[in-house]
Amino acid sequence: MLLHLLPLSTLLLIPSILATPVPSPVPTPEPLPLLVWHGLGDNYAADGLQSVGDLINTTVPGTFVYYIRLDENPDSDRTATFLGNLTTQLAQVCNDLASHPILSTAPAVNALGFSQGGQFLRAYVERCNNPPVRNLVTFGSQHNGIVKYQVCGPTDWLCKAYIGILKANTWGSWVQSHLVPAQYFRSTDETTGEPSQDYLDNSNFLADVNNERAAKNTTYAKNLASLDTFVMYVFDDDETVIPKESGWFAQTNSSSGEVTHLRNRTIYTEDWIGLRKLDQKGGLVFESTKGGHMQIGDEVIVDVANKYFAPEDAKMEESRAHARPGQENMEL
Dump pLDDT digits (tens) for 205-241.
999 999 999 999 999 999 999 999 999 999 999 999 9
pLDDT recorded at residue 16: 52
C-alpha dist (Å) from residue 11 to 2, 8, 118, 292, 314: 11, 5, 68, 74, 42
pLDDT recorded at residue 331: 30
SS3 content of the chain, % helix, strand, coil (to 5): 45, 15, 45
The answer to whether residue 168 scores a pLDDT higher than 70 is yes
pLDDT recorded at residue 5: 47
CATH architecture of 34-144+206-309: 3-Layer(aba) Sandwich (3.40)
The answer to whether residue 323 scores a pLDDT higher than 50 is no
Catalytic residue among 42, 77, 115, 143: 115
Measured distance CA(121)–CA(127) in Å, rounded: 10
pLDDT recorded at residue 99: 97
Amino acid at 326: G
Catalytic residue among 42, 77, 208, 238: 238
Specify whether 238 is catalytic: yes
pLDDT recorded at residue 157: 78
**Minimum mean pLDDT among 50-64, 142-156, 158-172, 251-265: which range?**
158-172
Measured distance CA(307)–CA(291) in Å, rounded: 21
On the CB side of 22, CA atoms within 13 Å amount to 2
Specify whether 16 is catalytic: no
pLDDT recorded at residue 150: 73
